[in-house]
Amino acid sequence: MNSNFTEKDESMHIGHNIKRIREIRGIKQEAFGQMCRGRYSQQRISDFENMVALDEPLLAELSSALGVTPDFVKSFKDENVIYNIQNNTNTFNDHAIDQSHSQHTKPTFNTDGAEKLIDLLEKFIEEDRVKTQSIADLSRAVLDLTVEVKKLKEER
């Protein structure tokens, strides 16, 4: 392997890997270019993403901007991402489960975040109910005052 360039393996397309990681992170090419030390244009990022191999310093710069290592980019495969998403979306109570029994163990999902969100939403709904009631009370008071002002004007 030439030390200045990444390996050219037929299954490895470094530019494609950069593109897929960028897309998964939800970053547009133009924004990605500005995240890089070289402040690249959208067109230049597109050029990089179409390259099969990148020199090591450029790969290091692009990887760093994406928050990953060059080795991660080199070994990136869509299939691995899909596999990890499908198989690592829950946490298990016992990580030392005997393999012969693991297929019968039901996973437990980490719901701490969901419970906190529900609590926050319930608090927001209650605060909104209180504010709505205050507005209704204030509106009634304004209507009552309007009626009183009309009466006073008529008495004059």
For the whole model, what pTM was predicted?
0.49
Note the pLDDT tens digit of each residue in 21-67: 999 889 999 999 999 999 999 999 999 999 999 999 999 999 999 99
Residue 20: exposure state from Cβ atoms within 10 A (0-12, 13-18, ≥19): middle
Q: Which of 75, 59, 64 is nearest to 12 (CA)?
A: 75
Please tell me the distance from the alpha carbon of residue 88 to that of residue 91, in angstroms, as a whole number.
7
CB 81 within 8 A of CB 34: no
Note the pLDDT tens digit of each residue in 62-104: 999 999 999 989 988 877 777 666 776 554 444 444 444 444 4
Q: Which of 91, 96, 84, 88 is nearest to 106 (CA)?
A: 91
Name the pLDDT band for 10 (thresholds 50, 70, 90).
very low
Residue 8 has pLDDT above 80, yes or no: no
